[in-house]
Amino acid sequence: MVSGILPKRRSNSMVASVLEQVRAAAAKRIMQCMHCKGNMQRSHAPFSVDRNGYHVHWDALPAWVCEQCGEPYFESEDVARIQRVLAALDRETEAA
């Protein structure tokens, strides 16, 4: 049998405090634009695509937008959502 000291149980308030500190640190991270090195800010941006004879436009999708040049970057979950919508439209236009 290995002897040792077991860690103390942490209270819910202590865990909540640590989680809040981690969230605050993550919010302070500064992401830089790959195009101009400006600071990125969480916001919304338009997105348009022309494909297979149709045009799709969204006015405001969640995105990271450069404060300096306005370049938008979409998170992978949002890109996956866009791709699912476009794939569904492709299936509908092929069936017609």
Provide the CATH number for the domain around residue 62. Answer: 3.10.20.860
Reported as a single tens digit per residue, the pLDDT across 32-89 is 999 999 999 999 999 999 988 889 999 999 999 999 999 999 999 999 999 999 999 9
Question: In terms of pTM, does the model score above 0.85?
Answer: no
In a domain, 72, yes or no: yes
Residue 11 lies in a domain: no
24 within some domain: no
- Please indicate, yes or no, if residue 78 is contained in any of the structural domains: yes
Which domain range does residue 79 map to? Answer: 31-95
Q: Is residue 20 part of a domain?
A: no
Answer whether residue 4 is part of any domain: no
Note whether residue 76 is domain-resident: yes
Asked whether residue 14 carries a pLDDT value surpassing 80, the answer given is no
Domain count, the chain: 1
Per-residue CA distances from 33 to 5, 8, 38, 64 (Å): 47, 43, 5, 9
Residue 85, domain member (yes or no): yes
Element (H, E) at 21: helix 12-28
